[in-house]
Amino acid sequence: MKNNKLHFKAFTLVEVLVSITIFSIMVISIIWIYIVSTDITMKSDINRMMQENIKNVTNTIAEDVRKNGIKWVAPTGDPSCIYSLFPENYKTGTKLCTKSLNEYYLAFENTTNP
């Protein structure tokens, strides 16, 4: 008499769970790497733009001084350095005036007194 049982070959539940776990760990790792690299790219782009802005401002001031010369410089603490358009949390410092009547202020944000 022949044995009529069919032998199906398939994965067991444990094998499926192990493979899903390994796959999930790989997907989570790839997503984490993508998020971190995107964050680093964004921060480096912001840093690059800030450096370009600083370079442009410096070049503008240097060109103005080169073309027109310096009329006068007010040191820190000079009442003429107080500029009302700065918000209260900004402290002004040296004021540079060129002969073309442009004024440049060195200012920084006061973070110690909120």
User: What's the total number of domains in the chain?
Assistant: 2
- Which range marks the domain in which residue 93 is found? 69-114
One domain, residues 75 and 97: yes
One domain, residues 64 and 18: yes
What is the average pLDDT across 83-90?
A: 55
One domain, residues 17 and 61: yes
User: For residue 1, is it within any domain?
Assistant: no
Cα 87 to chain centroid, rounded:
23
One domain, residues 44 and 19: yes
Cα 28 to chain centroid, rounded:
26
pLDDT computed for residue 81 by the predictor:
43
**Helix, coil or strand: residue 66:** helix
Q: pTM of whole model > 0.75?
A: no
